[in-house]
Amino acid sequence: MLSRRKHRVVRDALRDGAWIRDLRGRVSPDLLDLFVTFRSLLGLAELSPEVRDTFTWRFSADGGYSAASAYRLQFLGAMDSPLIPIIWKPWAAPRCRFFAWLVVQNRLMTADRLLARRWPNNYFCPLCMRSLETCMHLFVECPHARCIWERVAVLASAHSLDPATWGTPARTIDWLGGLSAGLPAAEASRVRSWSLLVLWQIWLERNARIFRQASSSVATTMAKINDEAAAWDLAGAKIFPPRE
Ligand SMILES: [Zn+2]
C-alpha cells in the first residue's frame, strides 16, 4: 500500500535498497521497524529469478485465504472464560446475566467506588446499615443478604447456597463459581440460575432502600424471589429440584 511500485517483484525491490525509495507518504516508526525485520528475513531466503512472487496465507493448511480461516484467526490464543459456564450459559433472564457480569467485574456503583471518586454516597450498606457498602459485602458478607441466601438454600434445596458453607472467598467471581463447584451438570446449572436470580433481587432491594426509601423484610423479599423463580420455572428454567 505504501509503495509507488506495486508490481515490482521482491528480488528487484531488494536490489540496492530500491524498496526504500519506493515508499511514499508517512511511514510510522512501527511500520518501518516491520519493514526492516521483513527485509532481514528476506535476506535469509534465496530468491530465484525464475520464480514469481506469490501471496501465501499461513493460517490455512493449503496457504490459500478463506473467510473461515480469517474468522478462526480472531480466536487464536483466546482462553475459555470462566464466566461462560457461571453467567452466560445457565437459564436466567438476560438482565440478571448482564447484572452478574457487572458484579464479578466490580463495576457496580456501590458506596466504596463512589467514595473513591468523591461522588455523593451513603457509605453504609442499606441492607444492614453496619458496614461500608462494597460489592462483596452487599451480596456475600452482609448479614441481611446472608439471611436471604440461607432461606434461598432451603427454597431451592441447594445446600451450596447456604452461607454456612461458603468460607471467605477473595473475589466475587470465586464465590459465585464456588456455589456450583463440584456439582453434577444439571444441579450446577440449577444452582447458577438461582444465584443469578438472587443477586438481582438483592440489588433491587438495595435500590428500593436507597432511591425510594422503601424497605422490605426478608420474608417479603423471599416472596418476591419465590414469585420470580416460579415465573422462570414456567418459562423453562428447571430451577426447582426434580420431584421424587
Ligand atoms: Zn450489609
Distance 158 CA to ligand 1 centre (A): 23
**Mean of per-residue pLDDT scores for the chain:** 86
Model confidence band, residue 19 (pLDDT cutoffs 50, 70, 90): confident
Query: What is the model's pLDDT at position 40?
Result: 64
pLDDT of 241 higher than 90: no
Spatial neighbors of 158 by CB under 8 A, at least 6 apart, are 152, 187, 190, 191, 194, 241
pLDDT (tens digit per residue) in 216-230: 999 999 999 999 999
pLDDT (tens digit per residue) in 131-154: 999 999 999 999 999 999 999 999
Query: What is the model's pLDDT at position 70?
Result: 78
DSSP for 103-129, written as a single string = HHTT-S--HHHHHHTT-----B-TTTS
Domain ranges within the chain, ordered by starting residue? 10-73, 83-234
Distance 150 CA to ligand 1 centre (A): 15
Distance 163 CA to ligand 1 centre (A): 14
Distance 126 CA to ligand 1 centre (A): 6
Distance 103 CA to ligand 1 centre (A): 16
Distance 19 CA to ligand 1 centre (A): 68
Read off the pTM: 0.69
Query: What is the model's pLDDT at position 148?
Result: 98
